[in-house]
Amino acid sequence: MTEPVQAAPLDARLVPSAVLCWFVCLVAFVLGASWAAACAGIAAAACVVTVVVARRRTWSSVATVIVAAGALGACMAVGVGIRALAVETHPLRAAAADGLFVTLTGTIADDPRVLQSAFAPTVVVGVDLTSARIGAETVDVGGRVVVFGPAQSWASTVVGQDITIRGRAALPRRRDLTVAVVRSTGPPTVTEQPVWFQGWAHTVRERLAAASHDALAEDAGGLLPGIVVGDTSALPQDVIDAFTVAGLTHLTAVSGANFTYLIGAVLIAARVATVGPRATTVVAGVVLVAFVVIARPSPSVLRAAVMGSIGLLAFVTGRRKHALPALAAAVIVLLAVDPALAVGFGFALSVTATAALVLVAPMLTRRFERVLPGPVAAAVAVACAAHAVTAPIVAALAGSFSVVAVVANVLVAPVVGPVTVIGAAVALLAVLYLPAAEVLARAAGPPLRWLLTVADVSASMPFASITVPSGMTGAVVVGVGVLGAAGLVLLCRTVVARSVRDFAASPSRTASPRSGRRGASRGARGVGNRLGDAGRDARRGRRRTRGSAARRRHQRVRALGAAQPVLVRRRSRRDPGGRGGSG
């Protein structure tokens, strides 16, 4: 019997550095730049103390981890502290505190997102500032503002356009790098069109939406762009609600899974075409960059892009990279580029879900494989792990907990990959020839219909979603519930295993007919052996009795005289019957 293969231990040396970098970013935004400076000093002091102590003793791997975490944490604290101080002292900050009207010039950074309300539809969009006119003074400034405006006024805007807007400024509620919130009083004035690659990305998204709308039903046509590039502008509200209750909203947000499917398709095509590894890497890199541009560099897309880059490096060098160090490196790099990701729910969901796939899913897969086929066990393990670790964050964000999310995600898992690859092919083909893209889009109809059916049925089930308090309270409640459920499952498993072990060792296991027959046979053999031993003992006793009688008779004969034994002996030799004369 072969022993089970033990999983290789995970390399967690970079995890403390990632956690510390994330922590100092949170401190800088929540408590201010002065606290970030304090964190930088503490981290630097920890490095110095560790180096001094380690010189007197043998330098260990623990000391290396502490020094690396302290150095990276100190550098991150200094950088984010400088940026937080720039936000606190921004010229627009005072005008926002007083609620003044301002005129701003900047570049559209995000796609306008529609907010549903009882009044007129409103959009929210991020704008990177280049200048601001406050009263009679115009200053060249940087920073980002969040603009709220009428949906109709922003319908034709494109990411990358330079615009001028006027509105009332206010202080932001969210603590990040946002300088102010502006409620525009009119439509934006476009002063310059976006650069060529941003315009190309907008064209691809428009063509994909058009091909999906013309070839598929309304709900499926709005879902395909959402799965491929995260564009949910044409998705009906009832579908959005069903996906939210069923725990499937992550499918309409670009994540690492999209890159996995696309890069995997590229690698398979290269293998079929017998393309060399370097050419394959170049093609995969082009697909990676193009997808980031088309999908917009949101937190989840940036995280997925960094992970994809690490995977490409591993493919070129031929060395095996561990998933956990790659995730930790991605967190550090992304926070260095955009520290505001530290306070974003999307980034937290992305990182925690990936960590669950690395740490929790393999253990669950090994346990589920005892009772389920391999692919089914892996799908169930991934769904359980991702839902368990992200449920507290979702509860804090949305104030709800999906009961049917695990089952729904397992049911739709087989069709998400094909839909993503087909949708990406439709997007590229739509730029070249729209009718051909419409024909290809129809191939995604059946799997999209399956996705919609699973979402509808799951959302319509009783108690499909449980309402919990939003914010930290809801996160704590759901987190305690998840831990309690996991503990209950482990307890039940232990009790059942102990019961089975005790039952297997109990004497009643020999009560079956076959075991009874075996026991009777063994009993009969035992009785026969005992009887045989008794017979042998009886024969030995008779021999001992005969020997004793012969000795007693011999002694009586000797008492009669010396000649008599000779006569007796002669008679016994010559006349066994006792007849004969004297002579």
Q: How confident is the model at residue 260 (pLDDT cuts 50, 70, 90)?
A: confident
pLDDT at 224 exceeding the cut of 90: yes
Instruction: Copy the structure tokens of residue 521.
Output: 């046979």
Report helix angle 323-337 to 299-317, nearest 10: 130
pLDDT at 24 exceeding the cut of 80: yes
pLDDT at 474 exceeding the cut of 90: no
227 phi-psi bin (left φ>0, alpha ψ -120 to 50, beta other)? alpha
Half-sphere exposure of 153 (CA within 13 A, CB side): 22
| pLDDT confidence of residue 109 | 87
As a whole number of angstroms, the distance between CA 110 and CA 231 comes to 12
SS3 482: helix
pLDDT tens digits, 446-460 = 999 999 999 999 999
pLDDT at 212 exceeding the cut of 90: yes
pLDDT at 576 exceeding the cut of 50: no
pLDDT tens digits, 332-341 = 988 998 898 8
SS3 of 31-65: the string is HCHHHHHHHHHHHHHHHHHHHHHHHHCCCCHHHHH
| pLDDT confidence of residue 382 | 85
| pLDDT confidence of residue 205 | 92
CA 299 → CA 52, 340, 446, distances in Å? 39, 10, 31
Among candidates 358, 346, 357, 391, which has minimal Cα distance to 247? 391
Cα angle value 341/159/263 (rounded, 5°)? 65
Q: Cβ–Cβ contacts within 10 Å for residue 318, how many?
A: 7
Q: How confident is the model at residue 554 (pLDDT cuts 50, 70, 90)?
A: low
Residues 522-542 have a mean pLDDT of: 51
pLDDT at 301 exceeding the cut of 80: no
| pLDDT confidence of residue 471 | 82
pLDDT at 44 exceeding the cut of 60: yes
Q: How confident is the model at residue 435 (pLDDT cuts 50, 70, 90)?
A: very high
Half-sphere exposure of 270 (CA within 13 A, CB side): 16
Q: How confident is the model at residue 225 (pLDDT cuts 50, 70, 90)?
A: very high
| pLDDT confidence of residue 570 | 43
As a whole number of angstroms, the distance between CA 262 and CA 250 comes to 17
pLDDT at 409 exceeding the cut of 80: yes
| pLDDT confidence of residue 394 | 87
Q: Which of 59-73, 318-332, 451-465, 517-531 has the lowest mean pLDDT?
A: 517-531
More confident residue, 312 or 230: 230
Residues 126-143 have a mean pLDDT of: 89
| pLDDT confidence of residue 311 | 55
SS3 of 249-286: the string is HHHHCCCHHHHHHHHHHHHHHHHHCCCCHHHHHHHHHH
pLDDT at 323 exceeding the cut of 50: yes
As a whole number of angstroms, the distance between CA 198 and CA 107 comes to 12
pLDDT at 42 exceeding the cut of 70: yes
Instruction: Copy the structure tokens of residue 176.
Output: 């990040």
Among candidates 54, 34, 58, 35, which has minimal Cα distance to 46? 54
Q: Which of 22-26, 299-303, 401-405, 496-500 has the lowest mean pLDDT?
A: 299-303
Asked if residues 418 and 447 have their Cβ atoms less than 8 Å apart, the reply is yes
pLDDT at 316 exceeding the cut of 60: no
Asked if residues 283 and 266 have their Cβ atoms less than 8 Å apart, the reply is yes
pLDDT at 491 exceeding the cut of 60: yes
pLDDT at 256 exceeding the cut of 80: no
pLDDT at 478 exceeding the cut of 50: yes
pLDDT at 367 exceeding the cut of 80: yes
As a whole number of angstroms, the distance between CA 212 and CA 208 comes to 6
Q: How confident is the model at residue 103 (pLDDT cuts 50, 70, 90)?
A: very high
| pLDDT confidence of residue 463 | 85
pLDDT at 221 exceeding the cut of 80: yes
| pLDDT confidence of residue 313 | 55
In b/e form, how buried is each residue of 178-195, taking b as 16+ CB within 10 angstroms? Answer: bbbbbebeebbeeeeebe
pLDDT at 553 exceeding the cut of 80: no
pLDDT tens digits, 149-189 = 888 888 888 888 999 999 999 999 888 889 999 999 888 99
More confident residue, 154 or 581: 154
Q: Which of 225-229, 478-482, 492-496 has the lowest mean pLDDT?
A: 492-496
| pLDDT confidence of residue 155 | 81
| pLDDT confidence of residue 264 | 81
Residues 119-128 have a mean pLDDT of: 86
As a whole number of angstroms, the distance between CA 369 and CA 462 comes to 30
Q: Which of 348-362, 366-380, 524-538 has the lowest mean pLDDT?
A: 524-538
Q: How confident is the model at residue 58 (pLDDT cuts 50, 70, 90)?
A: low
- Longest CA pairwise span in the chain (Å): 175
SS3 176: coil
Q: How confident is the model at residue 299 (pLDDT cuts 50, 70, 90)?
A: low
Residues 518-529 have a mean pLDDT of: 48
> What is the distance, to the nearest Å, from the Cα of residue 319 to the centroid of all Cα atoms in its chain?
23
Q: Which of 114-128, 219-233, 347-361, 503-517 has the lowest mean pLDDT?
A: 503-517
Instruction: Provide the percentage of residues in the chain whose pLDDT is more than 90.
Output: 28
pLDDT tens digits, 275-294 = 888 888 888 888 888 888 88
Q: What is the DSSP string of 187-203?
A: PPEEEEPPPHHHHHHHH
Average pLDDT of the chain to the nearest whole number: 81
